[in-house]
Structure 1
Amino acid sequence: MGGIVHNTAGFFIKIFVFQWDFALFLLNSVTPSHKEGQVVPKGCPGHNLSWPEYVPPKDGDSRSACPMLNAMANHGILPHDGKNITFKELNQRIRETFNFAPSFCFFVPKFAADFLNRSYWKDTFDLEEISLHNAIEHDASLTRQDAALVPDQGKPDLKLVHDLLAEATGKMPDGSARLTIPDLSRALSKRRVDARKTNKDYSESFFHNMFGSSNSSTMLTLFGGAIDDLTPMLTEERFSEHWEPRVRSKFGLTMAKFNFTVLPVERGVDTKKIEKEQAATAAATETAS
C-alpha cells in the first residue's frame, strides 16, 4: 500500500513540475533577460564574472561522472570534499551557478534522490554516489570510459575529451572554435559505436540515449559550444576566467526550452553511418597494405 501511495505522489509531483516548467518557459518569453555579467545572482559565487579559487580534488574527495558538479566542488561552491551534500542544497547551488530554471533544479536532484532511495527533503549524498550506473551515469559518455571498464567515474578520460573537442566545426563571433548540434550528434554516434565494440557489458536504451544527449546538450546551451570555455571545464573541471552561463533568461533554462536542443542532437545521431565509414576506412587500409 505504501508503494502505491509513493508512486501516486511521485506521479502528481512530476505533473506539477512539468506544468511549472512550462509556465516559466512562457514567462521567459515576455520578461527581459539578465544583463551580461549579472546572470549569477548578486552575492553568489560567479556574480559579475568572478569565480572562487579553483582547487583540484585531493585523495579521498568524492567526485561524480558530471564535470559541472565536480567543477562546483573544485571551486568550493559545493563542499570541496564532495560529501554530505543535501539534495535541497544541490538544487539551490545549481540554480545560482548555471541559471537552470527552478523547475529543472528541483526535478534532477529529486530524480537523483529517488534512484538512491533517499528523501529529497532531509537526506544527503556524496558526489560519487550519483554515478550509479544506468541512473544518470550511462555507457557511451563523451567524457568518461564506460563504468564496466573504468569503475571510478570521478575523473575525465582526456583522450575522449580531446576527441570530442576536435569535432568542433563552428565558429564563435570572435572566430574561435565552437561545437554545433551536428558536431555533438556525430560525437555521440562515434562513442556509441566504439563503446559497443569495447564494452562487452554495454547497455543502451531510449532513456539512456536521451539522457546522454541531454547531458551533452548543456555544452551547447550553457556554454554556447565555446571550445575555449569547454576545454577547462571538461579537462580540469573548472570554470574559465570570466565565464558565465550563456542562458540569460530571467527564469533560467527550462526543460521545455532545453528540449529544443536535446531533440535535434539525438535525432542527428547516426551510428549506422559511422559504422559504414569505419568499415570503409578499414577496407581501404587493408587494400593499401
Structure 2
Amino acid sequence: MGILNKVTGVFINLFVFAWDFNLFILNILTPSYKPGHVVPAHAAGHALSWPEYTPPKDGDSRSACPMLNAMANHGILPHDGKNITFKDLNIKIRQTFNFAPTFCFFVPKFAADFLNRSYWTDRFDLAELSLHNAIEHDGSLTRQDAALVPDQAKPDLGLVKELLEEATGTMADGSPRLTIPDLSRALSKRRVAAKKTNKDYTEDFFHNIFGSSNSSTMLTLFGGSIADLTPMLTEERFSENWEPRVRSRFGLTMAKFNATVIPVERGVNTKSIVQAEGEA
C-alpha cells in the first residue's frame, strides 16, 4: 500500500505541474481582473469588503501562517480554527488570495499527507499545520523557532518589526515597500540569528525554499506594501480595502510564483552577515 500511495502521489504531482503550466500560459493570453474585482462576487472580501475582524479567543486554534490565521480571524475559515476540511481550505484560499487552483490543491494536499490524513475526507485544526519541519520551519521571519517557543500561534512582534524595517522600496503613493533584496537580506539575518539562539536549529534546501516561498507572498499578494503587511503580520487581519495584488484571471500559478521565490532565495547570503558581524 505504501508503494502504491507513492506512485499515485507522483502521478498526481505530474498532473498538477502540467495543469499549472497550462494555467500559466492562459494567464498570459487572457485579460486580468480589474482592480476591485479580484475576489469573486459570492466570496468574503468581494468589492474590498472583508468580514469583521475578531481576535482569537482562548481555546481557538491558530497556525504559524499569518494568512490562514487572518482567514479565521475574519470568519472566512471557522473562527475557532477547528474541524476544517482540506477541500474547503482549497476553495477559501483560492477565493481569498487568488492563488491558482493548482496551488490551492497542492498545498492542502501536502498538508494532508504530512498529517497522515486523507485530503478528500478528513479534517484538521489550524494548530496541527505547525508540525515542526513540515510546513513550519526554523528561521521564520515572524515566529521564534519552535524549540524556543513551542506555541507557534502568535507572531513575535520584535521579529516582525525587524522585517518591516528592512523595506527600502517605495509604493506608488510614496509609502514604504519591501523588495526582493530586502527579503533576501532579512532571511539572511534571521537564519544567522536563529542558528545562534537555537541549539536544535535545522536547515535544509527544502525548508529554505519554503521559507523563501512564505516570504515571497509578501511581494506577490501584498505588493510588498508595509501599510498592508503591518496589520497582517502583527494582528493577522486584512487592512481596509485590501485585495490580492495578483489579478491574473486564473490566479497565481506555481510557475509564476517561482519567478519571485528563486531570486529571493538566491539572494540569501548568510556569510556576508556573519562577516559583517565579525567586523563590527
TM-score where L is the length of structure 1: 0.97
How big is each residue's C-alpha offset from its partner over 1:167-189, in whole Å with a ceiling of 9 and x where there is no partner? 00000000000000000000000
* Cα displacement (A) at 1:260: 0.2
* Cα displacement (A) at 1:116: 0.2
Cα distance in 2, alignment partners of residues 73 and 214 from structure 1: 21
2:41 is matched with: 42
Q: Is 1:13 aligned with 2:12? A: yes
Q: Residue 138 of structure 2: SS of its match in structure 1?
A: coil
Q: Is 1:225 aligned with 2:233? A: no
Q: Residue 251 of structure 2: SS of its match in structure 1?
A: coil
Q: Residue 29 of structure 1: SS of its match in structure 2?
A: helix
2:259 is matched with: 260
Gaps of 5+ in 1: 282-289
RMSD across aligned C-alpha pairs, in angstroms? 0.3
1:270 is matched with: 269
Q: Which runs of 4+ in 1 moved over 4 A?
A: none
Q: Residue 242 of structure 1: SS of its match in structure 2?
A: coil
1:51 is matched with: 50
Cα distance in 1, alignment partners of residues 2 and 74 from structure 2: 40
How big is each residue's C-alpha offset from its partner over 1:127-158, in whole Å with a ceiling of 9 and x where there is no partner? 00000000000000000000000000000000
Cα distance in 2, alignment partners of residues 251 and 26 from structure 1: 10
Cα distance in 1, alignment partners of residues 74 and 178 from structure 2: 25
Cα distance in 1, alignment partners of residues 275 and 41 from structure 2: 52
Gaps of 5+ in 2: none
Equivalenced residue count is 280
2:175 is matched with: 176
Q: Residue 32 of structure 2: SS of its match in structure 1?
A: coil
Cα distance in 2, alignment partners of residues 90 and 228 from structure 1: 26
* Cα displacement (A) at 1:279: 1.1
* Cα displacement (A) at 1:280: 1.3
* Cα displacement (A) at 1:19: 0.3
How big is each residue's C-alpha offset from its partner over 1:36-93, in whole Å with a ceiling of 9 and x where there is no partner? 1100000211100000000000000000000000000000000000000000000000
1:77 is matched with: 76
Cα distance in 1, alignment partners of residues 169 and 89 from structure 2: 33
TM-score where L is the length of structure 2: 1.00
Q: Is 1:189 aligned with 2:188? A: yes
The letter for the 2-side match of 1:145 is: Q
The letter for the 2-side match of 1:199 is: N
